Structure 1
Amino acid sequence: MSGLSGVSVPLGKAVRALSRLRGGGSAFPGLVVERIDPGFMARALRNLPHGVIVVSGTNGKTTTTKMVVELLEGQGLRVFTNRTGSNFTRGVAAALLGEVNWRGRLDADVAVLELDEAHAVHFVNLVPPNHCLLLNVLRDQLDRFGEIDKTTRLLEQIAVKTTGTVVLNREDPRVASIASSVRTASVAYFGLDESLRDTFPSDDDLRGATGTAPASSLPADVVLESVNSNTARFLMDGESSTVELSLRGVYNIFNAAAALAMARIILGGHANREALLRSLAAVEPAFGRGESLVVDGQPLELVLVKNPSGFRLGLKSFDAAGYATMIAINDNYADGRDMSWLWDVDFDSLKNGGVNMVSGVRAYDMALRLQYDDVAAREIDPDTGSALHTFIRSSAGQPKRIFCTYTAMLAIRRDLSRITDVKVVS
């Protein structure tokens, strides 16, 4: 134990309070405590009755983590999670500083942590998880992680460090293949009915690769059998259950199968099936992930897009008819610098109504991409603040939808908070 371990929590809490007063980043106090006391997280998270769960993968981590948390809370468990939206280890440390007492003790039954693929590897070397949920491997931010097989290896390292159960996506060949590397944990799966596989393409499906079919013969603990708008049917223990979800977007519905699988493993024979389904039905979108706000009496939806699969499913999930549309694309570090993936997205669904506004650092690249699909871009303004103002003014009286990359979403939410109620992420 570091000689500074006795003062790390009071110091970290003081930095956190000062940072919040000054409007600073939520992860900075975590960075401070990581530097002065590397053992802080391991001490705070040990001895939780139901252990530590890590959720990782390219797409859907935030919403899936939120679902797992609310499913477990609905069964009476006290859950710690990194609600700040920072999925680096420093974000976990910062969230812990807000929850532990002055002696560093965490009052919780279980920790459910969303972690970025690369940072999850650092975390599990410090805190081996009891369980992990690995969602998918897609071509996302490859300038950060390298080739897609490297991303698979990152997830594999998480699984290898897991001591209890590894939950894998049966339909993603790369994720399913991780099972062969697991030695000390058991393996479980979530999956799709055969009829839905075209709706949820893997990365290889998107690129026309062959020879990587999903391992459909693997038994899955939870199977998504059908989707109709926001209504989904799940198969568990040989029995089908239908749920009407508050979440919008088909991509969220497959993630719901993942969350159910993880929650059932944690709860074991104590799981109350009906309560699980009620909790699932009540889950609201995570910030920016199909989040619906109200501006001038009309709904305004924010849809986060990070890669071709996510953008394609977002366009498929939300009917463009009757909506004014804005697209905001940034290429900052948190977005990924390589935006060539935009050319793998089919924008035909926007042809009839066109796009009212294109914004962000890569606004002109996005407008060019739309032009190749014969989608009209009425206005282009790289500045998201002025673009948002113009978009709202020019589409008065219409429902609105904004597709945006991560940093564009943060900027847009900040600007929207000045004119409407926006949930604060702190």
Structure 2
Amino acid sequence: MKYFFPILLGRLARIAARARGGGSAYPGYLVLKLLPTFLTDVTKQFDRGVVFVLGSNGKSTTTHMLSDVMRAHGLRVFTNPTGANLPQGIASALLSEVSLFGRLKADVGVIEVDEAFAVELSGLLHPSTVLMLNVQVDQLYRFYETERVADMMTDTAKTSSAHVVTNRDDEYLGPFTDATLDVTRFGASPALVAAAPHGLQNASDFGSGATKGEAGDAQAEVQAITPAGATIRLGAESLDVRLPARGLHYAVDAAAAIQTARVALGTEFDSRRAVAAFASMKPAYGRGERLKIGADEAEFVMFKNAASLQLNLDALTAAPEQVLLAIDEGTPDISWIYDVDFSSLDHVDVVSGAKAWQIALRLEHAGIPIGTVEPEIEKAIDLMKALPAPASKTKNFIVNYEQMMIARKMLGYPDLEKRA
């Protein structure tokens, strides 16, 4: 009975929250109040341990990639698919799969974790593997300095019981080492990074004097971007993988996911199964995801900071024929928008969100024509629907998380836990 009533009440709260049109962290908050040991009790059932995925950008995408690769090896994977990465969000995700008696049928946990809560969660979930993706300028109103975020990640890495996978090309994370842990790295070839319009947007460390050369070699390295995806060197092998979304940053996420699966699975890792997983992989929600909008498709490109917006703009192969750009109060301070190069856009049809007029001012300074400024996203989507059918059959939605959630719901896809 230790688990029955807390889980039952959490489940009922979850059903009520979803009936209102979406997920909620409240069910997880409730079950943790009633049963503080819930996270530890449930996740210690994983025979293959817990993998943490940390990073300023790319956590949800890489968690999704890694989960699919692990499933391709026959493992039952628990993950937090909606990107709810605080303790209550992870608890809510567990409520969707755990029995009323606290049993969970999963072999391994692949969990996206918020950096600020990572050390705390490591004490509850005891990760066997920690993946550190990048340190990029993000949420300065919350973290103040990028170096603090790097410290949060490396402090968490030290709590791993076995493996740490880190980014060779990140000046904060690349030099990480620990004699008690198996530390391996991923990255992209210097030529690819140099050819990217704005590199990989990793933050620079002006204090330690660390250089890429000090980080050691990458066991998984992106060597080429192909029309279908990317070529990744994995040890002595060369893998051609299909990417679920376009861009060098997604290829780097793929290299990170493959290397993490490799160390977590050990001798059971099969590169052919990894390639097969990518061949059928769908995009993580909002990250290159394509949803029906009438006779056409809406392609969602989600961002949360200057780095993610810039990398997604750089990945465009041509200026979009039709585009909506929206940011709301989920991104409180968007002064960073003046650091973004918008030259890959030749116009924006609709600007929306609570920050619409700030975006419009930035686009005006960049000399980019704007069709309409409509702060209400619901009306903005109706305007996009009313535009003539594009020759490309694609209407591009470049949005932050909150606007993506509203747009998906309006297009008939409110459930982030079900794949479109």
TM-score normalized with structure 1 length: 0.91
The residue correspondences of 1:195-234 to structure 2 (distance < 5 A) are: 195-198=191-194, 199=196, 200-204=199-203, 213-215=211-213, 218-234=216-232
> In structure 2, which of residues 341, 344, 349 is the aligned counterpart of residue 346 of structure 1?
341
> In structure 2, which of residues 275, 281, 284 is the aligned counterpart of residue 277 of structure 1?
275
Correspondence for 1:425: 417
Correspondence for 2:284: 286
Tell me the secondary structure at the aligned position of residue 212 of structure 2.
coil
Q: Unaligned regions of 5+ residues in structure 2, if any? A: none
Tell me the secondary structure at the aligned position of residue 349 of structure 1.
coil
Tell me the secondary structure at the aligned position of residue 175 of structure 1.
coil
What fraction of aligned residue pairs are identical, expressed as a percent? 34
Tell me the secondary structure at the aligned position of residue 158 of structure 2.
helix
Q: Deviation at 1:73?
A: 0.3
The residue correspondences of 1:351-366 to structure 2 (distance < 5 A) are: 351=346, 354-366=347-359
Tell me the secondary structure at the aligned position of residue 401 of structure 1.
strand
Q: Deviation at 1:203?
A: 3.1
Q: Which moved more, 1:23-32 or 1:4-13?
A: 4-13
CA offset digits 1:58-104 (Å, max 9, x no partner): 10111100000000100100111112331111111111112112220
User: Using the alignment, how far apart are the partners of 1:45 and 1:300 within structure 2?
Assistant: 37
TM-score normalized with structure 2 length: 0.92
User: Using the alignment, how far apart are the partners of 2:83 and 2:45 within structure 1?
Assistant: 25
> In structure 1, which of residues 165, 186, 193 is the aligned counterpart of residue 189 of structure 2?
193
Correspondence for 1:81: 79
User: Using the alignment, how far apart are the partners of 1:209 and 1:197 within structure 2?
Assistant: 23
CA offset digits 1:203-250 (Å, max 9, x no partner): 346x99995542476122211111134421111121212223343333
Task: Determine if contact 1:230/1:249 at 8 Å carries over to the other structure.
Answer: no
Correspondence for 2:70: 72
User: Using the alignment, how far apart are the partners of 1:362 and 1:287 within structure 2?
Assistant: 23
User: Using the alignment, how far apart are the partners of 2:20 and 2:304 within structure 1?
Assistant: 30
Tell me the secondary structure at the aligned position of residue 66 of structure 2.
helix
> In structure 2, which of residues 111, 114, 117 is the aligned counterpart of residue 119 of structure 1?
117
Q: Which moved more, 1:66-75 or 1:225-234?
A: 225-234
| Counterpart residue type for residue 335 of structure 2 | S
Task: Determine if contact 1:324/1:395 at 8 Å carries over to the other structure.
Answer: no
CA RMSD of aligned residues (A): 2.2
* CA distance 1:317–1:51, shift in 2 (3 Å): same
Tell me the secondary structure at the aligned position of residue 308 of structure 2.
helix
Correspondence for 1:414: 409
Counting matched residue pairs gives 413
User: Using the alignment, how far apart are the partners of 2:186 and 2:167 within structure 1?
Assistant: 5
CA offset digits 1:113-151 (Å, max 9, x no partner): 011111223211222211111101111111112211111
The residue correspondences of 1:268-347 to structure 2 (distance < 5 A) are: 268-321=266-319, 323-332=321-330, 335=331, 337-347=332-342
Q: Deviation at 1:273?
A: 1.4
Q: Unaligned regions of 5+ residues in structure 1, if any? A: none
User: Using the alignment, how far apart are the partners of 2:203 and 2:63 within structure 1?
Assistant: 25
User: Using the alignment, how far apart are the partners of 1:162 and 1:210 within structure 2?
Assistant: 24
Correspondence for 1:44: 42
The residue correspondences of 1:89-100 to structure 2 (distance < 5 A) are: 89-100=87-98
Q: Deviation at 1:4?
A: 5.7
Runs (4+) off by over 6 Å: 207-210
